[in-house]
A and B are shown apart, each in its own frame.
Chain A
Amino acid sequence: MPVNMKQLINLVEKEDWPFTQGHRLCPGCNAPMVAKWATMTAKALGYEPVVGAATGCLEVSTTIYPFTSWNVPYIHNAFENVAATITGAESAYRSLLNRGRIKTDKPIKFIAFGGDGGTYDIGLQSLSGAVERGHDFLYILYDNEGYMNTGNQRSGSTPPGADATTEPVGRKSTGKIQFKKNIVEIIGAHENVYAATAVTSDPFDFMAKVEKGLKHEGPAFIAVLAPCVRFWRIPESTGPQVTKLAMETKYWPVYEIDRGVYKITRKPRNFKPIEEYVNAVGRFRKALQHPEYKEMIEEMQRYVDTRWERLLKLEEVTKDLYLR
């Protein structure tokens, strides 16, 4: 049975928060929602989550010694290696279980959290290796489209036109010109994996995917668009709203690739133009004033339309053709 409200309320009533208060993430940041919903889903399903996190906002703000917001076992190692670290723990679990040395009979599930920098860029090798080797873990990317912890630098996920400190908008530049790296396709192409996207405006779609990921025997990956209110220059209360707009403008399609089979899990009835999304996010403000702005928007619109068409076709042709 899929995770439901009753199970979650049950946890809340017992005050059994796997991820709890006291963290120092900015008010309105979407990263903690991702961490909380994912670990709560695991708990509600009867699993004991063991969590790893990559260096980034989520990590530095939740574990300031001697405090911690984690009420479940947690490990941070470095920036680029959360996948390798958590698969080391998962390997230890298999070994100790095999040798009868695990002291609990509760089923443990491994969850790794990483920001976009730690996932698209510096940590891609360790993630790819871990997925290829087929470790049983769920990797959750909270995608705020830049290196936020270190002050809004560009990442492989930063969209064109977004102002970033290492690729700023200037008189001669519209900021970053490249489109985002398509991380879900990269991970999905490992074939033995469940890979999906999600948005913070739709927790139930996200939690259903977390459940699928946890139940999938082997690696699973979910990329959640999780705004940084600070560097996206958006009001504190609007993170989820903005991700809804991202979905409705085809900027961030919500879909999954389950062992090669594509499925769009949310199909908005009425699409909005990409410009609405760009206008809603303050980090594009400087680009809006740029003389080349019109061409930029046109190119983005063409790109997101084509990608959506492509996704629809992939959904059709891959139907039931599980690769592994």
Chain B
Amino acid sequence: MPTRLAVTGAAAVAHAMRQINPDVVAAYPITPQTPIVEYYAQFVADGLVDTVMVPVESEHSAMSAVVGSAAAGARTMTATAANGLALMFEVVYIAASMRLPIVMPIVNRALSGPINIHGDHSDAYSVRDAGWIQLFSENSQEAYDMTIIATKLAEREEVLTPAMVNLDGFITSHGVEGVDLLDDEVVRDFVGIWEPKYPLLDVDNPITHGPLDLFDYYFEHHRQQQEGLKNAYKALPEVFAEYEKISGRKYDFLDLYRMEDAEYVMIVLNSAASTAKYVVDELREQGIKAGLIKPWVFTPFPKKELLAALEGRKAIMVLDRAMSFGKEAPLYSLVKSALYEAKDRPMIGSYVYGLGGRDVTPAMLKVPFEDALKGDLDPNEERYLGLKE
């Protein structure tokens, strides 16, 4: 029987990890990720799981240890946020190049500087080219589900690519919500046991992991990493469908909200989508054909799905919770490039919101719709929501 718990997003993720019961978890605390490792450490201390927990001295060592552990053949997880992810950065790339299916919840937080502990997506965007699968979640339920989905997906033989599960700092990680947990055995059976092909600990068949890879093969190996992500793109619908069978919850590349006949479409990641859905409902009551797209999958970027969902609409407003200095905002530039192939191109505009945890209100999210209704969208202008200047 599934259980319904009133828990924070951090606890929901920790419960997903408890049900997966990875062989090794190595992690280092950082607000707002800390409760995930704390809950998990308690599960270990109470004997609810038999994971070997490695409370390392830094995130750099956390990512290094999970690389060692996953290469050894163990199902391995860690979790971090912002500056922790920045300290891991070097090894985040290495993990992907070694094709290790590590799963890492990221509790999204502003990347210093200046130092700020609240939610935005500058951390997730900063590693968008590292070669990891990147899933996003609107709330605790989705963060829980995505942690389980990520484990199944990352370990598929044709994928073998590490995966990040993003959830918004404080809003999701510390907000208490009702979360439906699957039965422990259901999760255990769903993820199964990972059987790596070339574990380091196979002393009878020794393998050299992480060799020097010069100009004669490096290129080919990167091409193969690309293949892993292409295969992840192909595998995702299958894994989502399998997950729907055990949970009744349906996921896809894109969460399409009131999109059937929508003319004015907002695109936003993670928790702000909840507020945006509320705004869309309000506008619909006024007879405005508003809609929302929330990507669940950011890498591999679902360009085809997005193009199909956007073609023929009147206006698209893309919201980014981070900047790309001197360039267009990350999600915006990807959406814009996807639209290049559209036969019937909608108006498009870029909005940056909520940096460093700035509150996101319905009034704020109404602004892009109002601009669009006035026909006032400029594809080359970055606009700011709730900026006090």
Contacts and interface: CB of A to CB of B under 8 A. Distances in A.
Interface of A: 48, 50, 52, 59-60, 63-66, 68, 70-78, 80-81, 83-96, 98-99, 101-104, 106, 108, 125-126, 128-130, 132-133
Given A77-B64, A126-B61, A129-B61, A88 B203 contact: no
Interface of B: 23-24, 26, 50-52, 54-58, 60-62, 64-74, 76, 90-91, 94, 193, 200-204, 206-214, 216-217
Given A85-B67, A85-B68, A92 B50 contact: no
A93 B201 contact: yes
Given A89-B68, A98-B50, A129 B206 contact: no
B65 A75 contact: no
Given A50-B201, A88-B24, A99-B23, A76 B210 contact: yes
Given A95-B23, A98-B52, 12 more contacts: A65-B216, A73-B202, A75-B200, A84-B62, A86-B68, A89-B200, A92-B24, A95-B74, A96-B72, A99-B23, A104-B204, A132-B57
Given A64-B214, A77-B91, A99-B23, A91 B208 contact: no
The 7 closest A-B pairs by CB, nearest first: A88-B68, A129-B57, A88-B65, A92-B74, A92-B72, A81-B64, A84-B64
B209 to A, nearest CB: 4
Contacts of A89: 68-69, 71-72, 200-201
Given A63-B211, A96-B74, A80 B206 contact: no
Contacts of A83: 61
21 contacts: A65-B211, A68-B211, A72-B206, A73-B203, A73-B206, A74-B206, A75-B200, A76-B212, A77-B68, A77-B210, A84-B64, A85-B67, A88-B64, A91-B68, A92-B69, A93-B72, A96-B72, A101-B193, A104-B203, A125-B61, A129-B57
A87 B57 contact: no
A183 to B, nearest CB: 18
Contacts of A129: 56-58, 61
Contacts of B74: 91-92, 95-96
Contacts of B24: 88, 91-92, 95
